[in-house]
A and B are shown apart, each in its own frame.
Chain A
């Protein structure tokens, strides 16, 4: 019986320690280790560039980049303290905030270029498709990388702007790398892609029918870097240093697009030919608050959330 009790206690301890795993990146001397979780896509090029340029080291930070498959895995990692900062699109952050997750944005990530037809994301159809405008997408099958998130809400916004009815668009979830093949095979009628798939599709003869980010709001802010309220209040120094290094990195990437294209080879499988041709997102110095509010309103309109949360508490 005592052995059984001991085993039970051990199991309980295991459970407890599994729940409360965290790290102490502030402890010890030398440079503070900073863990940042990102998805290895074009949008986060400034981070890799900033690391190369030594912007994080200048702040006394030892940047450790943890790559994640999707944004969904990043939020829990940040909230539980396994990583200090994460990268996510704003619709996900708004969803998390509306459920009461204590998140805080510490810096801008990337934004739409604001130029229709020359944005880093858009809706493609096959060359011979009868779909000519966003309005024609009504009733069609459209692939997005995640349902109930930024891409389907902005495609709906695009359709509404063109005077169409997005109610009966059939969105299907497909990973970006699978989309062009599905479009080619006729499994879907249109795909919402971002770079490098946009350029790849256009080169293969697909046709752009909508720049959904541009249609949603001028200078639409897409994603940002965030932390948990806990990290924000317990490690204010770390947050300050990170935002400073981030700002510097964003500024550098915006001023040196060729360097940004070059750094893609370091962490993605994008070929140099595509890397030199693709459309880079904008890396602004600040978050466009109005566009975050637009995303929150769209999320509520499309039923992702019941009430629009206070975006002021989320933003820096």
Chain B
């Protein structure tokens, strides 16, 4: 890509965020409204609020719980999803139940989860898992169901072992769908990370934002909201990296199909 093309891409990427920040800055510039402080004041409070102890005390535990819950949801979702997707009877048996459970918003489960998972880190991770697992699970089921039958028959003819059949046929074939579910789950995970910290928490970004709000430290509260957004951006960038690496065969395939 030429230097000019690169510049153009960067401009396209940053144009809207820059415009939004500029609009925010201008609209709040002379604000005396207590709950809408000037953006300059919010940004001024950012460093003091987060990078003098709170990063390790609140941000890292939050992100740690998010990643633990998210990865656990991935493992459970993919594991159960491939099983349900592969076995028709299992699918018929479980589908109504799954639809029932996925419709329950995790926040209403928190008081119940507290009864058997306590009020510690385990409960918070469980809240994240309980929400993240659904898009992964349901997309995996769909992905496995939509596997190319010819490929399945071929694998059978070649007597592929169950393990390599699972890894090379089932998982790989369903991986574009799994990735779509995993992407949805990531944003749900961030929301639930915050929500789980509103119950019985002692640290975390969500917890800290609520504390700021209750203590009427409004600029600091806004810095927390901005930080949450930034965490979302960073995680989504990381996700894209992993996805493009894991699905490089798929994007290659799609590309050649389009050309051919």
Q: Which residues of A contact B (CB under 8 A)?
A: 12, 15-16, 19, 71-72, 75-76, 79-80, 92, 95-96, 99-101, 143, 146-149, 170-175, 177-178, 181-182, 185, 187-188, 304
Complex contacts, B218 vs chain A, CB 8 Å:
99
Q: Does B118 contact A (CB under 8 A)?
A: yes
Asked if A148 and B216 make an inter-chain contact with CB atoms under 8 angstroms apart, the answer reads no
The docked-state distance in angstroms from the alpha carbon of A58 to that of B114 is 48
Asked if B215 and A148 make an inter-chain contact with CB atoms under 8 angstroms apart, the answer reads yes
Sample (7) of A-B pairs whose CB atoms are under 8 Å apart? A95-B214, A101-B216, A149-B214, A170-B202, A172-B119, A173-B200, A181-B114
Asked if B217 and A15 make an inter-chain contact with CB atoms under 8 angstroms apart, the answer reads no
Complex contacts, A80 vs chain B, CB 8 Å:
35
Asked if A174 and B119 make an inter-chain contact with CB atoms under 8 angstroms apart, the answer reads yes
The docked-state distance in angstroms from the alpha carbon of A71 to that of B215 is 11
The docked-state distance in angstroms from the alpha carbon of A76 to that of B115 is 33
Asked if A173 and B201 make an inter-chain contact with CB atoms under 8 angstroms apart, the answer reads yes
Interface size on B, residues (CB 8 A): 24
The residue on A at minimum CB distance from B116 is A185
Contact A12/B27 with A99-B217, A148-B211 known, Cβ cut-off 8 Å? yes
The docked-state distance in angstroms from the alpha carbon of A172 to that of B207 is 11
The docked-state distance in angstroms from the alpha carbon of A174 to that of B211 is 14
- Which 3 A-B residue pairings sit nearest by Cβ, starting from the closest? A99-B216, A72-B214, A187-B119
B-side binding surface: helix, strand, loop or mixed?
loop
Q: Does B33 contact A (CB under 8 A)?
A: yes
The docked-state distance in angstroms from the alpha carbon of A16 to that of B26 is 12
The docked-state distance in angstroms from the alpha carbon of A15 to that of B31 is 13
Complex contacts, A143 vs chain B, CB 8 Å:
200
Contact A72/B213 with A175-B199, A185-B115, A187-B119 known, Cβ cut-off 8 Å? yes
Complex contacts, A92 vs chain B, CB 8 Å:
214
Asked if B119 and A182 make an inter-chain contact with CB atoms under 8 angstroms apart, the answer reads yes
Asked if B215 and A178 make an inter-chain contact with CB atoms under 8 angstroms apart, the answer reads no
The docked-state distance in angstroms from the alpha carbon of A100 to that of B210 is 19
Within 8 A of A (CB), among B36-90: 36
Asked if B115 and A19 make an inter-chain contact with CB atoms under 8 angstroms apart, the answer reads no
Complex contacts, B200 vs chain A, CB 8 Å:
143, 172-174, 178, 182, 187
The docked-state distance in angstroms from the alpha carbon of A92 to that of B213 is 11
B179 to A: closest C-beta gap in Å: 34
> Other than the known A79-B35, A99-B215, A173-B200, what 14 A-B pairs have Cβ atoms closer than 8 Å?
A15-B27, A72-B213, A92-B214, A95-B214, A99-B34, A99-B218, A101-B34, A143-B200, A147-B211, A148-B211, A175-B199, A178-B114, A182-B200, A187-B119
Q: Does B152 contact A (CB under 8 A)?
A: no
Contact of A95 among B35, B114, B210, B215 (CB under 8 A): B215
Complex contacts, B115 vs chain A, CB 8 Å:
181, 185
B84 to A: closest C-beta gap in Å: 34
Complex contacts, A72 vs chain B, CB 8 Å:
210, 213-214
Asked if B118 and A95 make an inter-chain contact with CB atoms under 8 angstroms apart, the answer reads no
A223 to B: closest C-beta gap in Å: 15
Asked if A188 and B119 make an inter-chain contact with CB atoms under 8 angstroms apart, the answer reads yes
Complex contacts, B111 vs chain A, CB 8 Å:
175, 177-178
The residue on A at minimum CB distance from B33 is A19
The 0/1 profile, CB within 8 Å of A marked 1, for residues 6-43 of chain B is 00000000000000000100010000011110000000
The docked-state distance in angstroms from the alpha carbon of A76 to that of B215 is 12
Complex contacts, A181 vs chain B, CB 8 Å:
114-115
Within 8 A of A (CB), among B202-255: 202, 210-211, 213-218
The docked-state distance in angstroms from the alpha carbon of A72 to that of B212 is 10
Contact A96/B216 with A101-B34, A185-B115 known, Cβ cut-off 8 Å? yes
Complex contacts, B33 vs chain A, CB 8 Å:
19
Complex contacts, A188 vs chain B, CB 8 Å:
119
Complex contacts, B210 vs chain A, CB 8 Å:
72
